[in-house]
Amino acid sequence: MEFRPRHYSAEQEAHSLPRSRADHNPLSTPSPPSTPQSQVIVANHENNDFLDPLRGWCANVAVSNEDSPDIDYASAATSSASLSSGTVSEIPSKEWTSFKRFLMQKFPVSKMISVSSMSDVIIKSGKALDKSKKGTYSEEMNDSQKDPEDDAKVITRQEYVSQMHELKHEIMRAWHAEDRVTALKLSIKVAKLLMDTSVLQFYPTLFVLATDVMDMLGDMVWKRIRQKAECAEDGTFIGKLPENFKASDICSDAKETCNNWFCKVGSIRELVPRIYLELAILPCWRFLLDQPADNIQRLVMMTRGLADPLASTYCRLYLVHCARKLPASDKGYLVTCVNDIKILLIHLLSAKETPNIHFSGKIGLLVSLIEPTIEYIMKFIFEDASQRQAYSVFMELGLGRDRSNLSESIPCVSVVLHHLLKELPAEVISCNSVDILHLIKCSNDDSFDQCLNYRLLGFRLGESRSQLDIVISVVDEVIQVVTQYVKLDEYLKVVDAYMDIVLQNQMDNYLNTLLEGLYTRACNKEIVNDEQRILQSILLKLLYHFKDLDIIFALKHFLEILDVMYGSSRSVINMQILNMATRNDHIRDPTTIQFLFEISQSLHDDMDLANMKDDGNQQSAHLISRFIQKVDFGAEMERHLTFLVECRGAFGSINELTETLVHLSNYLATKALKDRKTLLTFVKSCIAFSEVTIPSISSQVRQLNLYLETAEVALLGGLVSHSDGLIVSAVSCLENVECTDGSRAPTDVDGILSSIRKLCSLLVMVPGNSDQVVTKIPRSILSLIHSRSWMTPRITARTFCAIILLLATLSQNKLPYHLCPTEVQNLGNDVLFFGDSSYLRELVSLSEHVLQNLLNAIEQEPSKAVRGSMALEACNCIALSFKASDDVLKVCWKLIEAAQLCLSANDKYLQSTIEYLDEQLSTSRATPAVVI
Amino acid sequence: MSTIDLKLSRSNRIYRSSEPLQGKIVIKSPSSLSHYGIRLTINGSVNMQIRGGSAGVIESFYGVIKPITIVNKSFEIRSSGKIDSGTSEIPFSVILKQPGEESLERFYETFHGTDISIQYLVTVDISRGYLHKSLSTTMEFIVESDKADLLERSVSSEMAIFYITQDTQRHPLLPELKSGGFLVTGRISTQCSLLDPISGELTVERSAVPICSIDIHLLRVESILLGEKIVTETSLIQTTQIADGDVCRSMTLPIYVILPRLLTCPTVLAGPFSIEFKVSIVISFQSELSKLHTKSDPRTPRLWLAMETLPLELVRTKG
């Protein structure tokens, strides 16, 4: 066998594609194609049967673009269909369901509930335990003033709930058995349960259970009367009642029944069940009146008769829920509700000794139980309210300042104020911010933390632009307030909310005051987790606002404040700073570099090194490595290398970073080589740095690649002996791959293959060493292939091909490429071994050996398609490397036969390979090959 | 076995005296049935009796007083004949009061009280000679005032204003109530249509002792002339709580009491008897004593109660 002589430069000229300028960047997003032009291009290329992969990609995109709108429309259609099926009226009921769930979850109930004797419906089953038997509970319930008759029972929550469900079913059964009187009587009993607020924590659950029954009853009554209205006296169906029916559409029989229901409900003695039952059937007023809203107002007033704060606020909650079932009406009653709740709370909070014994010491719990009702009502008030409406509500709540009596301070309850602030439109807040601030100042009670209201005002103010002078006066006043705060926690909460406003309006002097205040409160103090979080939010706001790190570092106390932070909050800030710093192209300032280095160090210290897969950690590592990449010392390359050494010392434990460092030192070396001014010693130290650093990387494959990269750089600098060492290291990495990484994914194997190919291409320009066999490295790769189990036949075959190509190249009289620097150019193997027959023999003998193995490897490939393409690949490789002799052609045809067995006859690769072989055959006839 | 049933044209069985009483007689018989005539009788009367109350032992012994007949009419619906087997329906329409007819008494509205009861009955008889038991059934129907007789004037919107303090009470109070003092003010309607609720409002201005409950009692006063004496019986017909617990001071609470249908009628002031109504506002204060008497009559003045009773005229309006 003999290697085919190659004339690389001539071949390149012959085979290179004609190059033409493109009008569009084919990789940019496809713009609507200018059709005539693209047709011309296609026409041009039609004859040489060449498929431009970029153009092909464009065509694909066009197709997929056509497809996707259909999918979008389809999904949009289904979603809109599902929306339209739910009528508008269902939305509030859904909201109510989720609100009920929220209530149940927010106030979970301990296992046992004491039930007063009144709730005989619940304990009639006799399951209840006698109070005296339950010693632990009786202690809590023990009250010397309790009436001896009052024999409280204790049952489990589960029992209570199941009893309620049982009652509900009983009511339903009675109703369907036409026994509506019993159904009503049982419903009244259920409603009476709501009078019992003795177990505060249980009340929301009780409320949800009981109103469930009320809603069910109300529904059944509504349906019954509507049915009557839709039927003639003899029971025949007349027609469906329209959604917006009038009272005049209703027949007298239906009205009579409806009236009876209101009479029956009206005759209930106790206030609580009377209100609840009327609310349950409230929508039925529509059968009697066209304007049923007056009744809502009356019910609001009636609710005032409930002195128990819990019972009365929850009753209002149910009222609002039921009122929403009526057609939209004036929301004035809601304002009355809120005002009544306000008065109730003022009364509750101001009472020196609580009026009701079972609330004493539980005001906090009570307020938290009441809060959701305020929240719900407030939300509904401002739902779809225009700005003007919202303002008038604000005034009606007695909160807006009447211009006539400016001096008067209107009391408000902070918890009510809080939810008002939450729901008021931002514009109303910004227009009345001074008044609201005044209100917050005045309402300092136990129901809600005052500083949280200051905080909320700040956030709400930030939502809309307000006049600068107003903002200034508000901020000024707030700062006066917070200066009085001693607690860091409160200070932070408020300052955080106003930070955006201060920044947006460039109130620099205020910013300084705030930072100063923060510094004095935060330093020399243990900072707890919550405070860290808010501090983090404040610092992030500063960072986002100023964008420029230099300004931020110049801020008073910024660095000191940063220093008091630790843990994850600190990391978040550090990451943000790094993120900002690395947005610039270069980081040149030595102080900045030093600072960022310290930040990176602290970030590194907080990283959980045992868990590098964690997203946060990966991001930190990524940011640090980006920072290191951006650092630029310009001409001071020595200093840069020193910096890299420092970095290695600091962040050596992070693989990603070590890799970056190697890349950077290689980059430095390359840059130095390009400069040509620097001495080779610097390049050597860079390479030495890389060489020392690489082994600390855990992945063998990465090491391999880095060794190759460094070897390349060494070759670039003409440092042949360095590169020899590096290549040896690379090969030993390759040998170690298996032992370190047990089972590899197939992609990684492909990666290794490409590294091997890269190594082969490097070897072309590595001058042979006369001390050793010239094929030492290829041989060691070969031995490796045989001994490694992860080598699949496919990879093996390709490696063999690569080696054959390498050997064929080395045999040439003129190598396709050489080492760059002029002084070492002559050191190419083509020069070193020119005309050396033992050299050639060595190459040929190795290639024959490889060829044999190659054929074996192909046969071992299990997949047909892969085997076919492998055979063709090998065939091409052989035809390209060797002169066409009979031996070679025999091998080639054998491979073609193998390929024909595996691939279809139409396969283009197969066809063109056959064509190529035929061509070779004819030329070989012309110039007979010399067989060795 | 043959059965006989009465069905009135109105399911609520309410008729006015000027309106015809209409309906049908439903006879179900397994075999054909011969009779000597079908008669329908209308009877309305005021029945009075005295028991307990303010009546003495002697009076109660004489118990029942002669009833006052309002109407007693008989109509022949069918003359003698035969009714086929199966279900037969015989419609009827009789006039309660001919226009211009001088009736025995005013057609008072139906009322069922403790001592006085005003009742209208319709009876149908099928006489079948001496050999067979005659078939008969009776049904009550309800009479409401004739529209023509109703007051032209609308119900006055006049309200009685009340002040309830420790000083307006005529019974002894708890010492802490006496010393601490309280003031509950408000207003309540004095005349009320039977179709409308009693309306008004109430405000607790101040009270040193926490309030337990505020209730509105609806009372009925039935009086019967017995010889020279008037025997009066007051009974509680409905209690409506308007405040539960120690309500906030200076907060106006509405009074809204729906009148119970069958237990009320327009106020009647007839010669031999009268039916009147009253409302009573009762404030119960928190007291340990009250818990010992939970089952007592709420009208009894107690140490922990304060009350104010006002007359209430109920009228039938054209509504």
pLDDT given for residue A821 in this prediction: 54
Whether pLDDT at A825 is above 60:
no
**Chain A residues near any Cβ of chain B (below 8 Å):** 145, 147, 149, 195, 253, 256, 262-263, 266-267, 269-272, 274, 298, 301-302, 304-308, 311, 340, 343-344, 347, 355-356
Residue among A263, A311, A343 minimizing CB distance to B251: A343
Whether pLDDT at A388 is above 90:
no
pLDDT given for residue A621 in this prediction: 86
pLDDT band at B254 (very low <50, low <70, confident <90, very high): very high
pLDDT given for residue A610 in this prediction: 62
Contacts of A188 in chain B (CB under 8 A): none
pLDDT band at B259 (very low <50, low <70, confident <90, very high): very high
pLDDT band at A71 (very low <50, low <70, confident <90, very high): very low
Cβ contact, residue pair A271, B242, below 8 Å: yes
Task: Tell me if B116 sits within 8 A of B270, measured CB to CB.
Answer: no
Identify the closest residue of chain B to A146 by CA–CA distance. B288
Selected residue of B144, B247, B263 to mutate for chain A interface (largest A Cβ count, 10 A): B247
Q: How many residues does chain B have?
A: 319
- Tell the residue number behind the tokens 């020392």, with chain if given: A692
| CA distance linking residue A101 with residue B12, whole number of Å | 44
| Least trusted range by pLDDT, from A65-79, A582-596, A603-617, B168-182 | A65-79
| CA distance linking residue B319 with residue A573, whole number of Å | 76
pLDDT given for residue A609 in this prediction: 62
The whole-angstrom distance between A187's CA and the closest CA on chain B is 18
Q: Which two tokens stand for residue A107?
A: 């106030």
Whether pLDDT at A559 is above 60:
yes
Select from A370, A359, A298 the least CA-distant residue to B210.
A359
Whether pLDDT at A930 is above 50:
no
A106-110, A316-320, A570-574, A631-635: range with highest mean pLDDT: A316-320
Q: How many CB pairs lie under 8 A apart between chains A and B?
A: 77
Q: What value does the mean pLDDT take over residues B47-73?
A: 71
Q: How many residues does chain A have?
A: 932
pLDDT band at A745 (very low <50, low <70, confident <90, very high): low
| CA distance linking residue A13 with residue A15, whole number of Å | 6
Cβ contact, residue pair B288, A145, below 8 Å: yes
Contacts of A704 (CB under 8 A, 6+ apart): A730, A733, A734, A737, A752, A755
| CA of residue A691 relative to chain centroid, distance | 39
ipTM exceeding 0.85? yes
Select from A170, A205, A164 the least CA-distant residue to A185.
A170
DSSP secondary structure string for all residues of A658-702: HHHHHHHHHHHHHHHHHH--S-HHHHHHHHHHHHHHGGG-S-HHH
Contacts of B152 (CB under 8 A, 6+ apart): none
| Least trusted range by pLDDT, from A309-318, A526-535, B169-178 | A526-535
The pLDDT > 70 percentage for chain B reads 91
| CA distance linking residue A808 with residue A598, whole number of Å | 54
| CA distance linking residue A274 with residue A281, whole number of Å | 11
Q: Which two tokens stand for residue A333?
A: 């009653």
Contacts of B205 (CB under 8 A, 6+ apart): B183, B184, B185, B249, B250
Q: Which two tokens stand for residue A395?
A: 């005034």
Contacts of B238 in chain A (CB under 8 A): 267, 269
- Geometric angle at alpha carbon B302, from B299 and B307, rounded to 5°: 60
Tally of helices (H runs) and strands (E runs) in chain A: 43, 3
Select from A918, A850, A928 the least CA-distant residue to A885.
A928
pLDDT given for residue A781 in this prediction: 85
Where would I find the beta strands (DSSP E) of chain B? Answer: 3-8, 14-16, 20-29, 33-49, 64-83, 86-95, 111-112, 116-126, 135-144, 159-165, 182-189, 191-193, 198-207, 211-226, 229-244, 252-257, 268-269, 273-285, 305-315
| CA distance linking residue A712 with residue A710, whole number of Å | 5
Q: What pLDDT, in 10s, does the model give residues A332-382?
A: 889 889 989 988 888 888 765 545 555 667 788 889 999 999 999 999 888
Residue among A271, A305, A355 minimizing CB distance to B210: A355
Contacts of A722 (CB under 8 A, 6+ apart): A684, A687, A691, A711, A714
Contacts of A373 (CB under 8 A, 6+ apart): A313, A314, A316, A317, A341
Selected residue of B251, B257, B290, B291 to mutate for chain A interface (largest A Cβ count, 10 A): B251
Identify the closest residue of chain A to B263 by CA–CA distance. A267
The whole-angstrom distance between B65's CA and the closest CA on chain A is 33
Task: Tell how strand B305-315 and strand B191-193 pair up.
Answer: parallel
Q: Where are the domains of chain A?
A: 153-327, 330-402+410-448, 467-565
Identify the closest residue of chain B to A312 by CA–CA distance. B244
Sign of CA dihedral A694, A695, A696, A701: positive
Selected residue of A264, A267, A270, A281 to mutate for chain B interface (largest B Cβ count, 10 A): A267
Task: Tell me if A345 sits within 8 A of A415, measured CB to CB.
Answer: yes
| CA distance linking residue A724 with residue A769, whole number of Å | 9
Select from A788, A690, A708 the least CA-distant residue to A740.
A788
pLDDT given for residue A196 in this prediction: 86
pLDDT given for residue A56 in this prediction: 45
| CA distance linking residue A23 with residue A191, whole number of Å | 79
Contacts of B200 in chain A (CB under 8 A): none
Q: What value does the mean pLDDT take over residues B227-241?
A: 89
- Mark A840-862 as b/e (b = at least 16 C-beta within 10 Å): bebbbebbbebbebbbebbeebe
Cβ contact, residue pair A267, B258, below 8 Å: yes
Domains and CATH numbers, chain B: 3-146 (2.60.40.640), 159-315 (2.60.40.640)
Question: In the predicted model, what is the mean pLDDT of chain B?
Answer: 87
Q: What is the Rg, in whole angstroms, of the alpha carbon atoms belonging to chain B?
A: 25
Q: Which two tokens stand for residue B160?
A: 């009685």
**Chain B residues near any Cβ of chain A (below 8 Å):** 11-12, 197, 210-211, 214-215, 238-248, 251-254, 256-258, 260-261, 288, 291
Q: What pLDDT, in 10s, does the model give residues A673-729?
A: 887 766 788 889 999 999 999 988 888 888 889 999 999 998 888 888 888 889 989
Whether pLDDT at A258 is above 90:
yes
| CA of residue B39 relative to chain centroid, distance | 30
Contacts of A145 in chain B (CB under 8 A): 288
pLDDT given for residue A130 in this prediction: 39
pLDDT given for residue A118 in this prediction: 46
Q: What pLDDT, in 10s, does the model give residues B85-101?
A: 889 899 999 988 877 77
pLDDT given for residue A53 in this prediction: 53
Where would I find the beta strands (DSSP E) of B151-228? Answer: 159-165, 182-189, 191-193, 198-207, 211-226
Other CB atoms within 10 Å distance of the CB of residue B77: 17
Q: What value does the mean pLDDT take over residues A763-782?
A: 80
Q: Which two tokens stand for residue A788?
A: 């490694």
Other CB atoms within 10 Å distance of the CB of residue B253: 24
Cβ contact, residue pair B248, A270, below 8 Å: no
pLDDT band at A569 (very low <50, low <70, confident <90, very high): confident
| CA of residue B309 relative to chain centroid, distance | 19
Cβ contact, residue pair A302, B210, below 8 Å: no
Whether pLDDT at B211 is above 90:
yes
Task: Tell me if A245 sits within 8 A of A233, measured CB to CB.
Answer: no
Whether pLDDT at A126 is above 60:
no
| CA distance linking residue A780 with residue A797, whole number of Å | 16
Q: What pLDDT, in 10s, does the model give residues A433-448?
A: 888 888 888 877 777 8
**For residues A535 and A156, which has the higher predicted lDDT (pLDDT)?**
A535
Whether pLDDT at A233 is above 80:
no
If DSSP codes are grouped into helix, strand and coil, which group holds residue B16?
A: strand
The amino acid that residue A432 corresponds to is N
- β-pair partners for B43: B72, B121
Whether pLDDT at A863 is above 90:
no
Cβ contact, residue pair A262, B243, below 8 Å: no
Task: Tell me if A261 sits within 8 A of A228, measured CB to CB.
Answer: no
